[in-house]
Amino acid sequence: MQNLENIAGHILNKFQGNITPMKLQKLLYYVKVWTTVAGKKTISNTPDQAFYAWKYGPVNPEIYHEYKGYGKNPIKDIPLFSPIPSNEKKLINFIVDSYGCYNAITLSKTTHTEEPWIKNQEFGGKISDEEILDYYSKESFAQNFPLDKDNKFYPPKTTSHHAYVFDMAEDDEATNVYFDSLDEYLDEFNKASKEAHLFMNSNTEIFG
């Protein structure tokens, strides 16, 4: 069983100074969400490890106070952290890699469309494990568990989901979209991101 501080250290080491406090919070939240749904509770269930429905999405106050000094800037300092057992690390990395390609704003907006935050946001309430299980276990991403190298990959549904699930017919449900693997999805995501960037640059040159 891990605590959020140790998982945060692992994520910060993984991103090597290229992650903001907001994005760190959202990735930690989704680690809690999907390890809970997968039946592999990785984060201890003590009160200081809970997430609350704050203005910009789920937040753990302990992590917030640890890194709030960075504001909107990337966290450059990587804290010491204990090695995570390989079975837990594999699951954590899968979740972080699946969501980590999205920016902090997209992840924040995504949590605002999800029931656990919506139900608790008025009073900044605690998001319970029961609320997590009730909502997220019905999401298509839950079909990725238990992890198996031969499984298809069902991408996370973010507010940018349709932009990267690429030329779907309107009557196709995004929940039915899958890829052969996470690697294939990330390749397609990166390709679509580059094409969007080139498109925006070309429009700037024409109309700027």
pLDDT digits (tens, 9 = 90+) for 120-136: 999 999 999 999 999 99
Q: What's the confidence (pLDDT) of residue 193?
A: 79
Q: What per-residue confidence (pLDDT) applies to 50?
A: 97
* pLDDT in the model for residue 45: 82
pLDDT for the residue numbered 41: 82
**In the chain, how many H helices and how many E strands?**
9, 3
pTM for the predicted model, two decimal places:
0.90
pLDDT at 158: 92
What is residue 72's predicted lDDT score, i.e. its pLDDT? Answer: 96
Note the pLDDT of residue 203.
57
**pLDDT score for 60:** 98
Task: Give the residue ranges of the chain where pLDDT is below 70.
Answer: 161-175, 196-208
